[in-house]
Amino acid sequence: MKIVVCIKQVPGTSEVEVDEKTGVLKRDGVDSKLNPYDLYALETALRIKQAHGATVQAISMGPPQAGQVLREAYMMGVDEGVLLTDRRFAGADVLATAYALSQGIRKSGMPDLIICGKMTTDGDTAQVGPEIAEFLDLPHVANVLRILEVGAEAITVEMDMAATVEVARVQYPCLITVEKGICQPRLPSFRLKLQTRDRAVPQLTLDDLPDQDAGHYGLNGSPTQVKRIFPPAVNADHEMWTGAGPDLAARLGDRLQQLKFV
Amino acid sequence: MARIIIHQEAITDAAALKALCPFNALDYVNDYLEINAACKMCKLCVKKGPAGVFEWVEDTRPGIDKSLWQGIAVYVDHLEGRIHPVTLELIGKARELGGKIHQPIHAVFIGSGIRDGAEELLDYGVDHVHVYDDPALKHFRIEPYTAAFADCLNLVKPAIVLVGGTTIGRSLAPRAAARFRTGLTADCTFLDVQANTDLDQIRPAFGGNIMAHIFTPNHRPQFATVRYQIFSAPPRTERGLGVVHSRSLPAAALASGIQVLEVRRKETTRGLEDAEVIVVAGRAVKKAADLAMVERLAQLLNGKVAATRPMIEAGWVDARQQIGLSGRTVKPRLIITCGVSGAIQFVAGMNNSDCIVAINSDPKATIFNVAHYGIIGDIYEILPALIQRLEGREATLETLAAVTA
């Protein structure tokens, strides 16, 4: 069995600021880390590997520095890594990101199972996983809470459907996105760190992918464009109320109603 | 195709140029300045760099004919035919946008045994309801649902597609958007439309620390998801002139690699982290018995009670209900703090809440720095009056329900 886990390097904190003058994110001095939700995806894959035997490959897209998150994946027990890195992938939105990853997965050989984290902490969209599944023409199940059975032809999972919890059997090859809390991710192991110290992180550029039309990647392959980014209006509706107790209570009651809390 | 070209001959201050890029995407390779894969195409180097060094080159791409895509489609989110209220909110927004561009509203209703609900949608001003009613669509399974959704969108060719940011919507919308190779903006908090049907979308990123204004200039349809309770539902009106269309799919399109084996209703007990409304008791609560008013307020707002550390240490409130660095981190839609001073350890556990109402008698209390509504007053005066008011409203609603039943 072959499992691919999609991971991403994200800023170490979401406390980022926008440069008011240039409208660009200030990332100077902000550390990068592995997207915390991806730890659950990695752990899920590694547990399947331990229980049933599997090859686990982690795939990421980003600048050359993003190879670091693949090294971390090695330290957790991932067998192979691959980094999609190319200037022509720059400026990718959800569609172009998902397309590039799907091409990277095709290039590395189609797995039986693809596992993604719930979402990333920088984009917050939770949309890349389902789009990868579409590009690879696979069934997908999102919001997986538990893996119930890993069979020879299908995986049985429990998924969160807001009002209900559903148990579904999904045929391979397929893609699942896992919830935070599906398992407790392991820490990188020192032993594996030493063992994998010299293991390279293979890189793929546009020239290595099956579809080499640069118009499908990066900014050029992105239907959405960011017009501008700006800091949220923090407490824009910041109001201080003073007055007699009953008046304040009446005012608060009205406001709660207006805001549809009652 | 857009790209940035570096004119090496125009470079004078080599070291300064490298520092231009906040993403460290400028590098010297064999003495030539090059852009590496860390580039975000933010064009900052073009805008801020010395004249003539960085050039933005963009080949004009053939523009699509936007007039071929007309109308606004809304995906009808439902559980066994019961329509999720986010759908009505999206219909309300769709009507507002549709009014500006004079285009019709379509609802796409996919499920099994849902025909009756389709008629109901007409009461909210939908022009066309497209119903895909088939036993194979009883459970949400991604392949047949995407097939039905895409089938309808191919038929209607809408300029804009709105989907609720629910569990289903967040799975279905990206799938359909990728099928059309078009843009999707998730969790929009603001939507507007231009005369040429371009959709202006604003969404938070980085956990809400940044807002991004996004548009889809040359692709159709334009997909956006919106979470529940961002927009307002339109009032139910007289049945309009809308039409219900029965649609169907060939059996092959209804096939799925997913088999739903079991569906369980969720237990309703939820932790503090999941609560949409939280009322917090702070030090101003003088004795344990007075917590009753905090509890009553939480009950009236369908919320949970939480407390600050002193309340926990006094043994008045269970430790599982503590908010703050040594307790839980919460992000409810509404949090009302009652007599909480706002120590940083507490604030760190709740300052991402959507709406923060702080009641405190000390005008200098630090909680007011993060509050959206800062109410300077005594909780012993305000809470009882507020409770009475909300109870009054509840009584009126009950009476109304009794009369109309």
Q: Name residue, tokens 């017009």.
A: A227
Q: Does B170 touch chain A (CB under 8 A)?
A: yes
Residues of A in contact with B388 (CB under 8 A): 249
Q: What percent of chain A has pLDDT over 90?
A: 71
Query: Is residue A20 less than 8 Å (CB to CB) from chain B?
Result: no
Domain end marker among B36, B58, B80: B58
Asked, for residue B343, whether it belongs to a domain, the answer is: yes
**Cα separation values, B326 from B253, B311, B318, Å:** 52, 13, 13
In order of A45, A71, B36, the CA distances from A185 in angstroms are 11, 16, 33
**B267 domain residue, yes or no:** no
Q: What was the pLDDT predicted at A233?
A: 62
Cα A256–chain centre separation: 36
Identify the weakest region by mean pLDDT among A22-26, A191-195, B226-230, B372-376: A22-26
Residue A22's Cβ-side half-sphere holds a number of Cα atoms within 13 Å equal to 18
pLDDT bucket at A29, cuts 50 / 70 / 90: low
Residue A149, classed as helix, strand or coil, is strand
Are B132 and B199 found together in one domain?
A: yes
User: In this model, does residue A24 exceed pLDDT 80?
Assistant: no
Write the Ramachandran bin of A260: left for phi over 0, alpha for psi from -120 to 50, otherwise beta. Answer: left
pLDDT digits (tens, 9 = 90+) for B108-125: 999 999 988 898 899 999
Are residue B96 and residue B181 in the same domain, yes or no? yes
Q: Would you tell me how many other CB atoms lie within 10 Å of the CB of residue A115?
A: 30
Same-domain status, B226 and B315:
no
pLDDT score for A21: 63
Measured between beta carbons, the chain B residues lying within 8 angstroms of A22 are: 44, 47-48
B81 and B178: one domain? yes
The reply to whether B263 falls in a domain is no
Which helix (H) or strand (E) covers residue B294, if one does?
Answer: helix B291-300
CB pairs under 8 A between A and B: 296
Cβ separation B370–A89 shorter than 8 A: no
**Under 8 Å CB-to-CB from B41, ≥6 apart: which residues?**
A90, A91, A218, A219, B2, B4
Q: What is the ipTM of this complex?
A: 0.88
Together in a domain, B123 and B45: no
Residues of chain B with pLDDT under 50: 269, 403-405
Does B66 contact A at CB distance below 8 Å?
no
Say if residue A231's pLDDT is above 80.
Answer: no
Confidence of residue A15 (pLDDT cuts 50, 70, 90): low
Q: Which residues of B touch A262 (CB under 8 A)?
A: 300-301, 390, 393
Arithmetic mean of pLDDT over chain A:
90
- Distance separating alpha carbons of residues A72 and A199, to the nearest angstrom: 12
Q: CA of A186, closest CA in chain B: separation in Å?
A: 23
Q: Are residues B139 and B192 in the same domain?
A: yes
How much is the pTM? 0.80
Compute how many other C-beta atoms are within 10 angstroms of the C-beta atom of residue A157.
25
What is residue A223's predicted lDDT score, i.e. its pLDDT?
95
Among A residues 157-196, those touching chain B with beta carbons less than 8 Å apart = 160-171, 174
Domain boundaries, chain A: 2-221
Same domain flag for B86 and B160: yes
Contact A226 B390 (CB under 8 A): no
Any chain A CB within 8 A of the CB of B29? no
DSSP state of A257: H
Q: What is the largest CA-CA distance in chain B?
A: 84
Domain region containing B352? 272-394
**How many angstroms separate the CA of residue A72 from the nearest CA in chain B?**
19
How far is the C-alpha of B303 from the C-alpha of A29, rounded, in Å? Answer: 40
Task: Determine contact, residues A193/A62, Cβ cutoff 8 Å.
Answer: no
| Residue among A129, A229, A248 whose CB faces B375 most closely | A248
pLDDT at A235: 54
Sign of CA pseudo-dihedral A112, A118, A122, A125: positive
On whether any CB of chain B is under 8 Å from the CB of A29, the answer is no
C-alpha distance from B374 to closest chain A C-alpha (Å): 5
Average pLDDT over residues A91-117: 96
Bridge partners (DSSP) listed for residue A149:
A156
Q: CB–CB of B374 and A240 under 8 A?
A: yes
- Which residue carries 């800023």 as its tokens? A11
Q: Report the share of chain A in percent with pLDDT over 70.
A: 91
Indicate if B49 and B77 belong to the same structural domain.
Answer: no
Residue of B nearest to A22 (CA): B44
Do B52 and B74 belong to one domain?
A: no
List the beta strands (DSSP E) in B251-364.
258-265, 277-281, 304-307, 334-338, 355-360
pLDDT in tens, A171-190: 999 999 999 878 889 998 99
CATH code, B14: 3.30.70.20
pLDDT digits (tens, 9 = 90+) for A125-147: 899 999 999 999 999 999 999 99
What is the rounded CA–CA span in Å between residue B362 and residue B283?
12
Can you read off the two tokens belonging to residue A21?
Answer: 């003058």
Q: CATH code at B167?
A: 3.40.50.620
Residue showing tokens 């118009």: A215
Note whether B242 and B113 are same-domain residues.
yes
Q: Does B212 touch chain A (CB under 8 A)?
A: yes
* Chain B interface includes A231 (CB < 8 A): yes
- How far is Cα A143 from Cα A180, in angstroms, rounded to an integer? 9
Q: Do B21 and B170 sit in the same domain of this protein?
A: no
Q: Does B262 map to a domain?
A: no
Domain count within chain B: 3
Residues B49 and B150 grouped into a single domain: no
Cis bond leading into A173, ω under 30°? yes
Q: For residue B343, give the CATH number of its domain.
A: 3.40.50.1220
Q: Tokens 């949608």 correspond to what residue?
A: B121
Chain A hits for B211, CB-CB cut-off 8 Å, are 229-232
> What is the domain class of A2-221 according to CATH?
alpha beta
Chain A contact present for B301, CB below 8 A: yes
Q: Do A224 and B357 touch (CB under 8 A)?
A: no
Mark yes or no for CB contact B215/A225 under 8 Å.
yes
CB atoms B1 and A25 under 8 Å: no
